[in-house]
Amino acid sequence: KQEVTQIPAALSVPEGENLVLNCSFTDSAIYNLQWFRQDPGKGLTSLLLIQSSQREQTSGRLNASLDKSSGRSTLYIAASQPGDSATYLCAVPYNQGGKLIFGQGTELSVKP
């Protein structure tokens, strides 16, 4: 059974700091891994998708890495800004019809 874990559950940093969010999964047989952002009361916004054959994917100040063998992914945010404050979720498709298995999320707060 696939399980996805995100650590830490919450993180508070000062503006400008570089930070890393962690995601781990128990079954390494994944097609891809997707990172999302969720603002309070809103839907999920797709940030990055890494295919199983890729090691990294970049979009602006965001860089996601994937190590299937160790069952880990990290989301690196460079030069954090207060607007980055949100909950970040990672997810992998598993089993039935592309069902996504989500981690519990990391709630990020960037202080001005």
CB 89 within 8 A of CB 102: yes
Of 80 and 87, nearer to other proteins (C-beta) is: 87
Of 17 and 39, nearer to other proteins (C-beta) is: 39
Minimum distance, C-beta of residue 16 to other proteins, in the bound complex (Å): 30
CB 18 within 8 A of CB 77: yes
Minimum distance, C-beta of residue 55 to other proteins, in the bound complex (Å): 18
CB 64 within 8 A of CB 88: no
Minimum distance, C-beta of residue 3 to other proteins, in the bound complex (Å): 11
Of 80 and 91, nearer to other proteins (C-beta) is: 91
Rounded to the nearest 10°, the torsion over CA 80, 109, 88, 26 is: 100
- Integer distance in angstroms from the first to the last C-alpha of the chain? 41
Minimum distance, C-beta of residue 112 to other proteins, in the bound complex (Å): 27
Of 71 and 105, nearer to other proteins (C-beta) is: 105
Q: Which two tokens stand for residue 99?
A: 């069902």
Enumerate binding residues for other proteins (CB under 8 A).
31-32, 34, 36, 41-46, 49, 89, 91, 93, 96-100, 102-105
CB 47 within 8 A of CB 59: yes
